[in-house]
Structure 1
Amino acid sequence: MKNFAYVRATSAEDAVQRSQTTQNAQFIAGGTNLIDRLKVFLDRPEQLIDVSRLDLKQIEATTEGGIRIGALATNTAVADHPQIRRDYPLLSRAILSGASQQIRNMATVGGNLLQRTRCPYYYDTVFACNKRQPGSGCAALEGINRMHAILGASDSCIAVHPSDMCVALAALDAVVEVESSKGRRQIPFNDFHRLPGDAPERDSNLESGELITAVILPPLPFGKTGVYLKLRDRASYSFALISVAAAIDLAGETIRDARLALGGVAHKPWRVPEAETFLKGKPATVETFQQVAEIVLQGAKPLTHNSFKVNMAKRAIKRALTISAQGGGVA
């Protein structure tokens, strides 16, 4: 770990100002991912700005009927919140499917959005990695790539985004609120993370010095039907091979509206608006769900070791949508 200066921010404005007056500064809150990266010299900040004591932990209803989640709310607090468990159960289930209880007690919402890939080639500095060192190459392309992307990847990077929470937030049309010296702005969740392209070192569309202050969930009348299905190598503390966040609104046997997002398949939570549009007006049948799974996986490019992910994703989509159509519940 490289030596760094440590300061404690007194307000969001103070944190933003410090980040812009100090070269190579980073924010730290729970530190559950950042500390790991510091230990192996992946991150080498000159200064860490502690934002963990800022007044950004509230979880409260909005006047529109949604919910506003402070960036420093812990994963545990979000998963256990009564309104989230009632109105957005797929978010609660997604959080509870990730990490251990001890990590969830420390990890924050803002930090979850900014966690980096768990690609082993990124963490092992012996190997080439364009995300770690732009222009060095991607060892995973010809390596053991069982856990890697089948959608949206590039020749520069095939890493996947590791978050369960973010897959749920993508499906729920969340909005990320950020603050900078220019003021406050809101970023639609599906525009927050980036695909790798030729700049995989950039995970998000945050601008320099911007601090995440909240995540806002709009009202979703059929959110109670939400399902989060996670397929993984073991049931405890394991990253997703495939995950699906799904919610369906039915009028009798006909689909009025739907939300669908995938994890474990791309550099960001994967959502296909065309698939949701296709579902509207269709009968809630296995045949319909098979058709939409084909739409979602169009353009999939499996690698040497992960071709199984294509069929696994299709089956997971069908299962999650079927359970949601039956009223939701544990997948």
Structure 2
Amino acid sequence: MNSFSYNKAHDVAEAVADIQEHEGARFIAGGTNLLDLMKENVMKPAHLTDINRLDLADIKENEEGGLTLGALVTNADTAWNERVEQRYPLLSKAILAGASPQLRNMATNGGNLFQRTRCYYFYDTATACNKREPGSGCSAINGINRIHAILGTSEHCIATHPSDMCVALAALDAKVNVTGPNGDRTVEFGDFHRLPGNTPHLDNNISQGELVTSIDLPPSNFTKNVFYLKVRDRQSYAFALVSVAAALDLEGDVIKDIRVAMGGVAHKPWRRREVEESYIGKVASTENFRALAETMLTGAVGFGGNTFKIELAKRAIVRALNEALKSGENL
């Protein structure tokens, strides 16, 4: 690990000013991913701005009738919050599917958005990785790529985004509030993360020095028929090969609204709104779920070791939607 300077900020303004004053600086809260990356010399920030004292650790009602999740609320406190469990059970289920209790007790909501890929080659500084060192190449494309992306890839990167929480936030149409040297702004969750394209080293559309302050959840009718499916190589403490956040709003057996977001398959949580919208008004049935899954995976490409994910993802979507359909029967 390289040497670095450190400052503990006492308010948002100080945090933003402090990180602007130091080239190569990073914010740190729980540190559950950043510290690992620093130990492996993947990231070498020259300065850390500690934001743990900032007043961003509340879950509040917002003007739209939804909830606002403070950036410094831990994943555990979010998942077990009574209002989140009752009104956004999909989010609670997704968070509890990730990491371990110890990590969820430390990891923050804001930090979760900035998780970096778990690609083997990204962590191995002896190998080529365009995400870690732009222009060096992508070792995964012709290498060991079992965990890698099948959608939204480019010739420069086939890494996946690792977060479970973000898959649910994508399905729920969350918004991210940020502040920085140019003031406050709100980012639609679908626009927060990036596909790799020619710049795989850029994970998101947040500028250096901008700080996530909160996440807005809009009012939701997805309180009953929801399910989060995580398919992984072992039952616990593993990242997803494929995950699916599925939610249904039903009138009888007819779909009034439907959400399907996938993790483990792309550089960002994967969702196709136009596909969801085409199933509104249709019967919630296995046959329709299979057709939806086929369309959701249009354009998917495997790279040998991960080609199995294409069929796995289709089956996972059907299973998740059927489980979501059944979940409402027990309420």
User: TM-score under structure 2 normalisation?
Assistant: 0.98
Q: 1 CA distance for matches of 2:225 and 2:175?
A: 21
Unaligned segments of structure 1, at least 5 residues: none
Residue 202 (structure 1) aligned with residue 202 (structure 2): yes
Cα distance, 1:12 vs structure 2: 0.8
Alignment partner, residue 178 of structure 2: 178
Q: 2 CA distance for matches of 1:100 and 1:296?
A: 30
Alignment partner, residue 258 of structure 2: 258
Q: Contact 1:227 / 1:329 at 8 angstroms: preserved in 2? A: no
- 1:116 partner amino acid: R
Cα distance, 1:271 vs structure 2: 0.5
Cα distance, 1:328 vs structure 2: 4.5
Q: Contact 2:227 / 2:327 at 8 angstroms: preserved in 1? A: no
Residue 48 (structure 1) aligned with residue 40 (structure 2): no
- 1:137 partner amino acid: G
Q: Where in structure 2 are the equivalents of 1:182-331 lying within 5 Å?
A: 182-328=182-328
| SS of residue paired to 2:319 | helix
Q: 2 CA distance for matches of 1:312 and 1:196?
A: 23
Cα distance, 1:329 vs structure 2: 8.6
Q: Deviations over 1:219-251 (max 9, x none)?
A: 012333221110001111000011000111111
Q: Where in structure 2 are the equivalents of 1:15-164 lying within 5 Å?
A: 15-164=15-164
Q: 1 CA distance for matches of 2:260 and 2:318?
A: 11
User: TM-score under structure 1 normalisation?
Assistant: 0.98
Q: Contact 2:12 / 2:54 at 8 angstroms: preserved in 1? A: yes
- 1:309 partner amino acid: K
Runs of 4+ deviating beyond 3 Å: 327-330
- CA 1:129–1:120 in 2, change beyond 3 Å: closer, same or farther? same
Q: 2 CA distance for matches of 1:284 and 1:236?
A: 30
- CA 1:191–1:223 in 2, change beyond 3 Å: closer, same or farther? farther
- 1:235 partner amino acid: Q
Cα distance, 1:252 vs structure 2: 1.3
Number of residue equivalences: 330
Q: Contact 1:227 / 1:328 at 8 angstroms: preserved in 2? A: no
Q: Contact 1:149 / 1:264 at 8 angstroms: preserved in 2? A: yes
Q: 2 CA distance for matches of 1:91 and 1:250?
A: 19
Percent identity over the alignment? Answer: 55
- 2:276 partner amino acid: E
Cα distance, 1:321 vs structure 2: 1.1
Q: Deviations over 1:136-159 (max 9, x none)?
A: 000001101000000001010000
Question: What is the CA RMSD across the aligned residues, in angstroms?
Answer: 1.1
Q: Contact 1:88 / 1:226 at 8 angstroms: preserved in 2? A: no
Q: 1 CA distance for matches of 2:277 and 2:217?
A: 21
- CA 1:329–1:79 in 2, change beyond 3 Å: closer, same or farther? farther
- 1:18 partner amino acid: D
Q: Contact 2:138 / 2:157 at 8 angstroms: preserved in 1? A: yes
Q: 1 CA distance for matches of 2:23 and 2:276?
A: 44
Q: 2 CA distance for matches of 1:244 and 1:33?
A: 23
Q: 2 CA distance for matches of 1:257 and 1:175?
A: 19
Cα distance, 1:303 vs structure 2: 1.1
| SS of residue paired to 1:250 | strand
| SS of residue paired to 1:19 | helix
